[in-house]
Every structure is written in structure tokens, then in C-alpha cells.
Chains A and B, each alone.
Chain A
Amino acid sequence: MNVNRYSYLSFLLLFALMVAPSLVHAQDAPSEQVLAGEKLFKANCASCHKLNAKLVGPALEGVEKRWTDGGEHAGVSGRDWLKRWIKNWQDPVNAGNPYAVAMQNYDASAMTQFPALQDADLENLLAYILTPPAPPKPVEPAAGTAASTAENPYTTYMIWGLIALLVIVAIVLVRVSNLLNRMVLEKEGQPIPAAVPFWKNKKLRAALTLLIVIYIGNATVTGAIDLGRQQGYMPEQPIKFSHELHSGINKIDCQYCHSSAAESKHSNIPSSNVCMNCHKGIKGDDPKNGKYGKIEISKIYAAAGFNPISGTYFEDYANQDKAYVDSILTVWLSDSKVTATKNDIEAVLAQVQKPIEWTRIHNLPDHVYFNHSQHVTAGGIECQTCHGPVETMPELYQFSPLSMGWCINCHRTSEVKFTQNPYYETFQVYHERLKDGEMKNVTVEKIGGTECQKCHY
């Protein structure tokens, strides 16, 4: 009875899920005018205006009503003043339209003028702003990308289960064979030897001892080698930053943030102004930004001194009253479509007026010299060669062992991009040999890449 009811319910739910999107779609089929307006909006307005939230300029939802409410001025309707404002905002200001005068200093940067927009364009634009079509679903990342890269725990469990089963079978078989042996002896009337408990079995003891010695020996040697190596190190970071989202899905170049990798010994961790290049606009208050979006992005605001409600930076942030900043961020986080817990808010407030202290993952010992620009700019090596598939890592970990053997192996086998590379122009003999065909390629080892003093001095 129960089962029947549940299956009926789930069938109904499935049906509803299948039909619902098409129903919504059918209702919202946008008109030609709205579509033309959307195109114009995206090309001209969207870099400063959102419909439902403040970006650089104000939210445009209900903008038509705000102007019509402003009333007629100089015999021209509010709606027509709005159109004249869009084309050239100074026109209604100069004409003394009170709403335009009130709005002219909304933001420090003036609105761009659009004299090229025709009246029909403006009508399309206003139609789109009045009834925007439902946004299309964002591109979902291919399911299973994370699962396939991470080790599947079930495989491990199954292997151990299988081993346990085999051990049990072995024990049972040994006992059965012992029993049969004793029965045979009993039948032949021979004396039966006293039963030896299994822990006194000499063969078993020898085998166990050997196993333990091998295990301990192996653990000692690998443990000693691993001292000071951090392969797989995945520390918790102050912000739940996903390289998969930023460089994998959104395809941001590694060097967009880590720009000094091409220029200097050190590859930089981006300062918060680099985050703000995008996150001034992407505030994570859209539920599509996921569970953590708004909270984690707010930590950048707390560090950089950005007021997400007004869309401006706090003045003289280092000496700003912390309680004031806290109150604004608390309001920002409480008024949320993504629920922020008390702990979440506390974590954000702890970041106020403080630099974000990321935990360093890749760390060579001090007695090793390593230069990023040498590898990135002169060598032209992809970041992934050493750092692994970072664009698939939701949480970053150290991919390579960064051991000396690993460095040396790569230097022995890697071919230097020798020709048309001004950095290696001075190696005249090698260039001649390459030309004569005496040498097929130049490895890093051949230009001194395995000399001790190259890295240890």
C-alpha cells in the first residue's frame, strides 16, 4: 500500500519536473521587441547596469516608472525625458528636469553617452527592461569531473572486503583440512597429535614475523625519504577558493592572477585588488554562485575595504571604525538568498581590515634556488607541468613531489626550446651543431641543468 502510494507520488513528481520547464518557457516566449532590446542592453548597458541590483549605475527595474512619476517637465513626458537621458544624460540636466538633476551625481564616473541610439532602439530597450525574459540556465560543469579525478573510496573498500573474505576462506579451509586429517588418523587407529593452537603454529609465526619486518622496514625507509616532502599537501585556506571554477570553467589564464611568475623568481599570490577586478561586479548574491559564493566573496570585501551595498570602497579603510564596517557586512550577509550562519558571518568579520593570509603550499627548502621566470618565460613551460591539473582542483593541493630526483629527471629528459629563443642566443657551438645535425636536440642537462651549483649555492 505504502509502496504503491510512494511510487505514484514520485511518478507525479517526475512528470511535474518534466513538464514544468516547458510550461514556464511557453509562458515567457519573449516578443521580437524584447529580444532586440535584450541585445541592445547587453551591448551597451550591461557593463554598468543590472536589472535587479546596483552595479556601477542603479538597478534599472522600474526605471520607467521612476521617470514617469517625476512627471511632465517643459511639456515633455517623463518617459521621453528618460529616452533623452539615455542618449545624452546632460540634455535633461541642462533642461532642468528635477529627477535628472537629482540623479546626475549618482556615481563619481559619468554615464556614457549613446547618441547613436535611435528612437526604435530606445523603445526596444525599455520593453526589455519592463519585461525581461527569464534568464537561460547557466552552463553546468560536466557532472563527474570532480568524482573522476578524486580517488573513489568504494574501490578501496571493495578491495579490503575482498582481502578479508579471502582470509576467512583460507582459515576455514585450513580448519577443514585439519579436521579431515584427524578423522583419517582416527579411522586408521593411529595416535592423534595434540591440537596446536594457531598462534603456536611455527610456520604461521615465521610468516607473520617476516611480514611485520618487511612492513616496518618499508614504512621506515619511505617515511625517512618523505621527510620534508609535501606531495598531496592540501591545507585549509582562509577563503574557499576554487581553481576549478576560476581557471577550469571560466578559463581565466593562470598569469592573470599569478602575473609575476613570468617576471620574477617568485610567483605572486594575487592581492585582493586582483580579486576585485571581477568581484566588484560578481558579488555572489545570486544563488547560482553556490552555497559559499556570497560568504567567501565577502571575505575579499572585508580585506579590501569594499562596501558591497553601496558598491564603493570605504574611505581611509585602515583607520575606518571597525564596528561600522562590521555592521554593513552583517547587513549584507543577513539580507541573503544564501543563508549565512552565525559562524559564517564571524569568519567574514574576522577578515575586516586584515590582509588575506593564504597558506603556502609549494615550498622548496631554503637551500634550493628556484626561479619561476626562468621556467615560464625563458623555458616556455606550462604551469601544469609542475603544478598538475590545477584547473580541475576545487581545492588546491601539491601535485608533484618537488623532490631533487623529480627535478633532475625532468632536466635530463626535457628538451630546451632552443631555436628562436633570444635567451639561448649565446650558445653558439650548440646552435652550429644543431644546424650541422651533430646534435638532434638540447636537453636542460646539456646547458648545465644538472650542475650542483645551478640550484645549490
Chain B
Amino acid sequence: MKDNHLVDMNIHQTVRLSLVGALMLALASCGSDNRTPGRTFVPDMAYSQAYETYTKNPSFGKDSLGAVDSFEARLPVAHTIARGLLPATNIGDDKVLASYLYKTHYANTDSNYLASTNNLKNPFQPEKEVLERGKYLYTIHCMVCHGEKGLGDGSIVQTQAYPPVPSYADRLPTISEGQMFHSITYGKNLMGSYSYVLTTDDRWKVIYYIQQLVNVGPFAKNTATTTAAAPADSTATGN
């Protein structure tokens, strides 16, 4: 009799204890999975009802506007200059305007690369602010391959992740600013196009900074050998 009673109690206790244990486990497991974002309070206030940059927009399909994807963020309309990206100076100069419409007027061909020497002109003056902006952009987008001084010794070349890059000092004396603009816009050899991130203004500012790094173009020193090595037609317009 007494034994039976004890056994009954035992079962009750075991059930109760295991219930408490299960509850504790359930609570402890809340939010411990870092592969899911977890639950949120009032989801319709947390998640945007409007389309955001990377949400899918059902209005855009594979064929709409010639696009492959349906991201809310769209490509700029062809043959247009976006608001705020018009030339700040010298807008009447054809050679200046040509660079702002370069992609729609000049295809990526070798002949256009050579012709860009005569087709394009840097609209800016090599002033302090221009060079500062050039340095800022160079540090972010160019230095990783071309190196701090333009010697082709950027960090990804040093780790041998990327094949060696030519030094500006060797090449730039024979390359005009227009050709530099063509190369940044379309890419050259293994280098990709940087027109997606550098606006036309920014490209020209970076070009001044690069020319200053190795003393070519408007920064050429008359006594230096660089002027002797450079053909007459490929020096920049500053001379």
C-alpha cells in the first residue's frame, strides 16, 4: 500500500518535472538560430509596404525595358544625362559635351580609343578641390590594383590574387587624357569599366590626380625625360 502510494507520487512528480523541463527548453530555444531573422513585433510596421531598392516590382519583368530582372532599382534611360550630372563648366565645348555622352556616341572600339585623344577634353582645371576629389576616388577604386603611387603594386597584386599591373610611370607618358577617359569608361584589357561608379565629372577628376601622381599631362616637368619620350600629339591639352 505504502509502496504503491510512493510509486504514484513518483509518476506525478516525474510528469510535472518533465513538463517544466520541456517549457524551459522551449523558451531557451527561442531566437537561438542565427540562420533566420527571428520574429518581429507588428510586422506591417517593420517591413516596408512600399517597394524598396532591392524589392521585386511586378511591373518589371524579363522583357520590360529590355531588362533581365525585376528589381525596383532601374538602369538609367539610354541617351540621357541624369539630373545633376550635366557638365558643370564649359558646356558649350563639343569636346567637353562628348565625354558626357560618350557611351551613347562612341562605341568601345580600338579606333575610338585612338580618336579619343582628339575627341575629348578635361573640362576642369587641375585645382586643389579637383585633385582632392580625385585622390578620394583613386584611393577607393584604383589603388587596390594600381597602388598608392601608381606603380602597379596595389594590395591585391601584392597578395598575388591578381596578375601584376603595369606602372603608370612606364605607360602614361604615351597615353592621352582622352584615352584614359576611354579606358576608365569602357575598361581596357583586364581592367573593367568604371563608368557605373565614377560619374563623368569624377572620371576627369581622377584622371587629373593620376596625371599628377606621375607628372604627366599638365603636370609634366619640362626638364624631365617624360616630355622627350611622349609623342607630340598624346600630351594633354594643358601643354
Q: Report whether B48 and A282 are in contact in the complex, using a CB–CB cutoff of 8 Å.
A: no
- 135-153 of chain A: CB within 8 A of chain B: 135-136, 138-139
Instruction: Identify the closest chain B residue to A268 (Cβ).
Output: B53
- Residue in B24, B41, B144 whose beta carbon sits within 8 Å of that of A253 in the complex: B144
* Complex Cα–Cα for A451 and B12 (A): 57
- 359-402 of chain A: CB within 8 A of chain B: 360, 363, 365-367, 397
CB distance from A440 to the nearest CB of B (A): 29
Q: Report whether A234 and B34 are in contact in the complex, using a CB–CB cutoff of 8 Å.
A: yes
* Complex Cα–Cα for A274 and B196 (A): 9
Does A109 lie at the interface of the complex (its beta carbon under 8 Å from any beta carbon of B)?
Answer: yes
Does A236 lie at the interface of the complex (its beta carbon under 8 Å from any beta carbon of B)?
Answer: yes
- Write out the residue numbers on chain A whose beta carbons fall within 8 Å of the beta carbon of B46: 228, 365-367
Does A412 lie at the interface of the complex (its beta carbon under 8 Å from any beta carbon of B)?
Answer: no
Q: Report whether B37 and A233 are in contact in the complex, using a CB–CB cutoff of 8 Å.
A: yes
- Write out the residue numbers on chain B whose beta carbons fall within 8 Å of the beta carbon of A230: 37-38
Does B222 lie at the interface of the complex (its beta carbon under 8 Å from any beta carbon of A)?
Answer: no
Interface window among B98-106, B116-124, B163-171? B163-171
Of the candidates A234, A235, A249, A252, the one having the most CB atoms from chain B within 10 angstroms of its own CB is A252
Does A56 lie at the interface of the complex (its beta carbon under 8 Å from any beta carbon of B)?
Answer: yes
Q: Report whether B159 and A256 are in contact in the complex, using a CB–CB cutoff of 8 Å.
A: no
- Residue in A138, A226, A229, A259 whose beta carbon sits within 8 Å of that of B197 in the complex: A259
Q: Report whether A266 and B53 are in contact in the complex, using a CB–CB cutoff of 8 Å.
A: yes
Interface window among B89-97, B186-194, B207-215? B186-194
Q: Report whether A397 and B161 are in contact in the complex, using a CB–CB cutoff of 8 Å.
A: no
Does A110 lie at the interface of the complex (its beta carbon under 8 Å from any beta carbon of B)?
Answer: yes
Q: Report whether B155 and A252 are in contact in the complex, using a CB–CB cutoff of 8 Å.
A: yes
Instruction: Identify the closest chain A residue to B152 (Cβ).
Output: A43
Q: Report whether A233 and B48 are in contact in the complex, using a CB–CB cutoff of 8 Å.
A: no
Q: Report whether B190 and A318 are in contact in the complex, using a CB–CB cutoff of 8 Å.
A: no
Q: Report whether B190 and A280 are in contact in the complex, using a CB–CB cutoff of 8 Å.
A: yes
Q: Report whether A223 and B27 are in contact in the complex, using a CB–CB cutoff of 8 Å.
A: yes
Q: Report whether A223 and B166 are in contact in the complex, using a CB–CB cutoff of 8 Å.
A: no
Interface membership of chain B positions 39-76, coded 1 if the CB is closer than 8 angstroms to chain A and 0 otherwise = 11100011111001110000000100000110100000
- Residue in B39, B48, B192 whose beta carbon sits within 8 Å of that of A227 in the complex: B39
- Per DSSP, chain B at the interface is loop
- Residue in A47, A110, A249, A256 whose beta carbon sits within 8 Å of that of B166 in the complex: A47
Instruction: Identify the closest chain A residue to B190 (Cβ).
Output: A281
Does A323 lie at the interface of the complex (its beta carbon under 8 Å from any beta carbon of B)?
Answer: no
Does A13 lie at the interface of the complex (its beta carbon under 8 Å from any beta carbon of B)?
Answer: no
Does A353 lie at the interface of the complex (its beta carbon under 8 Å from any beta carbon of B)?
Answer: yes
Q: Report whether A47 and B163 are in contact in the complex, using a CB–CB cutoff of 8 Å.
A: yes
Of the candidates A42, A110, A255, A277, the one having the most CB atoms from chain B within 10 angstroms of its own CB is A277
- Residue in A112, A220, A250 whose beta carbon sits within 8 Å of that of B155 in the complex: A250
Does B35 lie at the interface of the complex (its beta carbon under 8 Å from any beta carbon of A)?
Answer: yes
Does B3 lie at the interface of the complex (its beta carbon under 8 Å from any beta carbon of A)?
Answer: no
Does A55 lie at the interface of the complex (its beta carbon under 8 Å from any beta carbon of B)?
Answer: yes
Q: Report whether A366 and B45 are in contact in the complex, using a CB–CB cutoff of 8 Å.
A: yes
Interface size class of B (residues with CB under 8 A): 35 or more
- Write out the residue numbers on chain B whose beta carbons fall within 8 Å of the beta carbon of A249: 159
Instruction: Identify the closest chain B residue to A368 (Cβ).
Output: B46
- Residue in A50, A253, A355 whose beta carbon sits within 8 Å of that of B69 in the complex: A355
- Write out the residue numbers on chain A whose beta carbons fall within 8 Å of the beta carbon of B28: 219
- Residue in B68, B143, B189 whose beta carbon sits within 8 Å of that of A109 in the complex: B189
Q: Report whether A47 and B192 are in contact in the complex, using a CB–CB cutoff of 8 Å.
A: no
Instruction: Identify the closest chain A residue to B229 (Cβ).
Output: A116
- 29-43 of chain A: CB within 8 A of chain B: 42-43
Does B80 lie at the interface of the complex (its beta carbon under 8 Å from any beta carbon of A)?
Answer: no
Q: Contacts A56-B189, A109-B110, A234-B35 hold; do A355 and B71 have CB atoms under 8 A apart?
A: yes
Does A347 lie at the interface of the complex (its beta carbon under 8 Å from any beta carbon of B)?
Answer: no
Q: Report whether A318 and B192 are in contact in the complex, using a CB–CB cutoff of 8 Å.
A: no
Does B141 lie at the interface of the complex (its beta carbon under 8 Å from any beta carbon of A)?
Answer: yes
- Write out the residue numbers on chain A whose beta carbons fall within 8 Å of the beta carbon of B139: 253
* Complex Cα–Cα for A256 and B45 (A): 33
Q: Report whether A236 and B27 are in contact in the complex, using a CB–CB cutoff of 8 Å.
A: no
Q: Report whether B156 and A250 are in contact in the complex, using a CB–CB cutoff of 8 Å.
A: yes
* Complex Cα–Cα for A109 and B187 (A): 11
Q: Count contacts on A: residues with CB < 8 A to the other chain.
A: 64
Q: Report whether B20 and A278 are in contact in the complex, using a CB–CB cutoff of 8 Å.
A: no
* Complex Cα–Cα for A277 and B47 (A): 34
Does B31 lie at the interface of the complex (its beta carbon under 8 Å from any beta carbon of A)?
Answer: yes
- Residue in A223, A251, A271, A355 whose beta carbon sits within 8 Å of that of B196 in the complex: A271
- Write out the residue numbers on chain B whose beta carbons fall within 8 Å of the beta carbon of A318: 62, 68
Instruction: Identify the closest chain B residue to A50 (Cβ).
Output: B163
Instruction: Identify the closest chain A residue to B39 (Cβ).
Output: A227
Q: Report whether A139 and B62 are in contact in the complex, using a CB–CB cutoff of 8 Å.
A: no
- Write out the residue numbers on chain B whose beta carbons fall within 8 Å of the beta carbon of A48: 189-190
Q: Contacts A216-B27, A282-B161 hold; do A56 and B156 have CB atoms under 8 A apart?
A: no
Q: Report whether B110 and A110 are in contact in the complex, using a CB–CB cutoff of 8 Å.
A: yes
- 206-239 of chain B: CB within 8 A of chain A: none
* Complex Cα–Cα for A447 and B69 (A): 42
Q: Report whether B45 and A269 are in contact in the complex, using a CB–CB cutoff of 8 Å.
A: no
Q: Report whether A233 and B188 are in contact in the complex, using a CB–CB cutoff of 8 Å.
A: no
* Complex Cα–Cα for A366 and B159 (A): 42
* Complex Cα–Cα for A431 and B87 (A): 34
* Complex Cα–Cα for A219 and B193 (A): 53
* Chain A residues proximal to chain B, CB less than 8 Å: 42-44, 46-48, 50, 55-56, 108-110, 112, 135-136, 138-139, 199, 212, 215-216, 219-220, 223, 226-230, 232-236, 249-253, 255-256, 259, 266, 268-269, 271, 273-274, 276-278, 280-282, 317-318, 353, 355, 360, 363, 365-367, 397
Supply 17 A–B pairs (Cβ within 8 Å), ascending by A.
A44-B166, A46-B163, A47-B190, A47-B191, A219-B24, A219-B27, A223-B27, A227-B38, A227-B40, A251-B155, A256-B141, A266-B52, A273-B193, A277-B194, A281-B190, A282-B162, A365-B40
Given A47-B163, A229-B38, 7 more pairs with CB closer than 8 A: A215-B27, A223-B30, A228-B46, A230-B37, A234-B35, A249-B159, A282-B162
Closest 10 CB pairs of A and B: A277-B192, A251-B155, A228-B40, A42-B164, A46-B164, A365-B46, A366-B48, A219-B27, A318-B68, A259-B197
